[in-house]
Chain A
Amino acid sequence: MPSAAKFTLWNRKLHYYLGLYFLFFLWLFAFTGLLLNHPGWTFAEFWPDRKQSVFERQIQPPRSGTDLDQARDLMRQLGIAGEIEWTATRSDPNTFDFRVTRPGHIFEIHTDFNKHRAIVQGTGLNAWGVVHILHTFTGVRLTDTRNQRDWTLTTIWALAMDALAAGLILMVLSGIYMWYGLILKRRLGAAALALGLLTCLWFAIGLKLLASS
């Protein structure tokens, strides 16, 4: 088989293999994208239905280390796992407050090292809350340099998001290549592609040029 034909065959296979593998990831992000853009859709409400709990535990103050080391030590003692989020600037070395999140669960942890006590306020979310959070669960924010990804599962989820994005880009490119091979469909296909491209360029670049003029 000539190499061009081989490439065409594997390009086609790549297109549907990627599509089939990422099916569930794509459905999740597409559907939650809709939910995020329509906060008024009451069927997907989760915050009013949250379940809150509070418990108090004896803790052993962490010996030393960075804030992250100490938070991990406390989480191990409390049996909590998730992504650590710094919510307050630490001014007193004997108190330590932080938040731990994972899809479906939020824990506000307040510790007093002098009293060897931790108060944990837990918030449990329903399935809608889980899928909402999955869409944005990266452990980092563009506007916040203090919080870094610190949970292995967040890193795995972030890699899954990267893989889906890369997979979609490859599917777009392989799709365009396949269309270009269909001589009879080039004209109508070019019109569809151009329409999408111009609309997108209008929003990504055109609006700014309009606002600047």
Chain B
Amino acid sequence: MRRLYPIVRDLHLYFGLFISPFVLVFACSVFFLVHAWLPRMGSGGASPRRTATGLRLPPNLDRLENRQRVDAVRPVLDQLGVAGEIDSIRHLPREHRLVIAVSVPGRATTVDLDYVLRVATISPRDTGLAEAFVYLHKSPGPHLAQIRGNWAMTQVWRVLADAVVYVLLFLSLSGIYLWTVLRAERTVGLVLIALGAMSFFGIVYALSR
């Protein structure tokens, strides 16, 4: 017990310090998501559009589906100098167009590609820091699982977001252990745990019954 205490305390401290900025990103973005409100922080709005011609396109781009299409589009985006996670690709077959939505935290780019003329229009938009936090909070998320994580940085963020959760779980358990050592705080702590449990289960029961 005497040996364990300083180890747990140090791990609690250093892990806690490491994930502090991540917790701030997740916690701040909660306010934006819960109130559907995005303050304009560092948002430059739309950047100038540009057009690229004479693109080298993979064959059968119009016939591919889902992940295959995303993988085929990636080299085209590289030619255009557009980096980021491909959020969606909308195919407009009559107009021979693919409308590709690409995101990095704080920036959303729409690439309108005419695969017959081999021309693309690139429209970037700065979304600001608040939206970057929201993007990170929701990334990679449960939707479009078959194409999500098509950019290396999204995969890295997925690992980090998971790590934050595991570390948070460790911090809560190690925090309980460190609290139990403080004998004078046991009663207050137990009351707070009970109050927290009552409010949590009370609300969840009322919501879901």
Contact = CB atoms under 8 A, between A and B. Distances in A.
Interface stretch (B55-63, B89-97, B112-120, B136-144): B136-144
Contacts of A165: 26-28, 30-31, 34
Contact of B172 (A23, A188, A207): A23
A185 to B, nearest CB: 6
B14 A24 contact: no
B196 A156 contact: no
Interface string B157-193: 1101110010011001001101100100100110011
Nearest to A148: B36
Interface in A5-34: 13, 16-17, 19-28, 30-31, 33-34
Nearest to A36: B142
A183 interface: no
B7 interface: no
A39 interface: yes
A122 to B, nearest CB: 14
Given A140-B36, A196-B17, A207-B106, A31 B30 contact: no
Interface of B: 10, 13-28, 30-36, 38, 47, 82-84, 104-107, 109, 124, 126, 129, 132-134, 136, 140-143, 145, 153, 157-158, 160-162, 165, 168-169, 172, 175-176, 178-179, 182, 185, 188-189, 192-193, 195-197, 199-201, 203-204, 206-208
